[in-house]
Homo-oligomer: A and B are copies of this chain.
Amino acid sequence: MGLITELTVKLHGQPEAIRAAVCAFDDIDGAVNAVIATIQSGIPMARIEFVDRASAAYFNKATQAGWPDAPHLMLEFHGSEQGVAEQADRFSEIATEFGGQGFRWAAKTEDRNALWAMRHNAYRTALQAYPGHTPITTDICVPISRLAEAVEETAAEIDASGIPGPIVGHVGDGNFHALLLPLAGDAAAWETAQKLAANMAERALRLGGTVSGEHGIGMGKVKYMAQEHGEGWAVMGAIKAALDPDGIMNPGKLLPGN
């Protein structure tokens, strides 16, 4: 839709200290509510990611890492040595209140990378667990106060469908991803996966969220735009038309009309 002709980059200083932390939970609800309580406590988190039980199981199977087959939160704290230690301690207290167990943390780069490996390899290890399945990835984003129900409803529906569908998420932003894995060539499974993805988008709208947090709208989700944006969608279209009167810049994506 546009061309970037100039970029101004804002640099942030390298933090003096970085601490990564991992914690397992009995259920999704405990993990997500721990995130909400941590945010509400004003504890600054540089990263906070959710990994569901299935993703943990696939990673354990692929690597013999031996994490519990349970939902996990993975966090990173940036700041001074004293600051990150205090932040990690306070998160640990909050997580414990919400059923968090097996809290572990790491400061050195190689140890942090080992903790983060489950998240970084989630896509690859899920594909390894289902050779011959076709990945469909989709994401939604909801207000943080609705995140627990959004993830739980999605996980329950995926479980009931029989389609493998691990969930991971940038839960500090209310954003999460499902990796749906219908068997290649199974038309019914493909349809079921498409329906699961559509239901995620409609769930996001029902809960006051957006049909895509970061994967984008493109053509696939343009059908939700009128419902998501109301009259604002036509306003966006008018701005596009003013800048691209001939409709030559990425037509048919995101906006009404061209």
Report B-chain residues with C-beta under 8 Å of the C-beta of A80.
83, 86, 90
Please measure, in the bound complex, the distance between the C-alpha atom of A12 and the C-alpha atom of B40, giving whole angstroms.
Answer: 7
Considering the complex, give the chain B residue whose CB is closest to the CB of A42. B13
User: Closest Cβ of chain B: how far from A162's Cβ, in Å?
Assistant: 38
Task: Flag A191-219 by CB within 8 Å of B: 1 or 0 each.
Answer: 00000000000000000000000000000
Q: Enumerate A7-34 residues with CB–CB distance to B below 8 Å.
A: 12-16
Could you say how many copies of this chain the assembly holds? 2
User: Closest Cβ of chain B: how far from A36's Cβ, in Å?
Assistant: 11
Please measure, in the bound complex, the distance between the C-alpha atom of A38 and the C-alpha atom of B14, giving whole angstroms.
Answer: 13
Q: Say yes or no for A222: interface residue by CB 8 A criterion.
A: no
Q: Say yes or no for A183: interface residue by CB 8 A criterion.
A: no
Q: Enumerate A155-183 residues with CB–CB distance to B below 8 Å.
A: none
Say which size band chain A's interface belongs to: 20 to 34
Please measure, in the bound complex, the distance between the C-alpha atom of A238 and the C-alpha atom of B42, giving whole angstroms.
Answer: 42
Choose one: B13, B78, B82, B86; the contact of A41 (CB below 8 Å): B13
Please measure, in the bound complex, the distance between the C-alpha atom of A243 and the C-alpha atom of B235, giving whole angstroms.
Answer: 7
> Contact at B243–A42, with CB atoms within 8 Å?
no
Q: Say yes or no for A248: interface residue by CB 8 A criterion.
A: no
Residues of A in contact with B (beta carbons under 8 Å apart) = 12-16, 39-42, 44, 78-80, 82-83, 86, 90, 235, 238-239, 241-243
Residue pairs across A and B with Cβ atoms less than 8 A apart, 27 shown, are: A12-B42, A13-B39, A13-B42, A14-B42, A15-B42, A16-B42, A42-B78, A42-B79, A44-B44, A44-B79, A79-B83, A80-B83, A80-B86, A80-B90, A82-B82, A82-B83, A82-B86, A83-B83, A83-B86, A235-B243, A238-B242, A238-B243, A239-B239, A239-B242, A239-B243, A241-B242, A242-B242
